[in-house]
Amino acid sequence: MKTKDIAILTSFVAILLIQIVGCAGSTLPPGDAARGKALFADTSLGTNGKSCNTCHTDLGRGEKSLVGKKAFEHTIRDCIQAALQGDPGQEQAVSDLKAYIESLK
């Protein structure tokens, strides 16, 4: 095999690996449910003075209950962005909130 062929082959493998990792989706850091619980009521996550607890009352157990719901990463980001007018790219916060919601029973 020529060096050029090896180079081309290597780039294909690299692209394939990037796609596989991308599809696997989550690159979130490990989440902590206790931190997530605190964040759930934290108005500094967004910019409009609301917290998750404003709508998902009683820390996710009351109105718009999240008990037993699948805490999709993209849903949490959507709520941070649209409902709290916050930055949806807060990786550690998203992961902690996910861990907290998944701990609700």
Residues at the contact surface with ligand HEC, assessed by CB under 6 A: 45, 50, 52, 54-56, 64, 66, 69-71, 75-76, 79-80, 83-84, 97, 101
Least spacing, CB of residue 18 vs ligand HEC, in Å: 28
Which is nearer to ligand HEC, 10 or 44 (by Cβ)? 44
Which is nearer to ligand HEC, 28 or 55 (by Cβ)? 55
Residue in this structure with the two tokens 């109105």, named with its chain if needed: 63
Which is nearer to ligand HEC, 13 or 34 (by Cβ)? 34
Least spacing, CB of residue 33 vs ligand HEC, in Å: 12
Q: Which residues of 20-52 are buried (b: 16+ CB within 10 A; e: fewer)?
A: eeeeeeeeeeebeeebbbebbebeebbeeebbb
Long-range contacts of 39-43 (CB under 8 A, 24+ apart): 39/93, 39/96, 39/97, 39/100, 40/97, 40/100
Which is nearer to ligand HEC, 9 or 87 (by Cβ)? 87
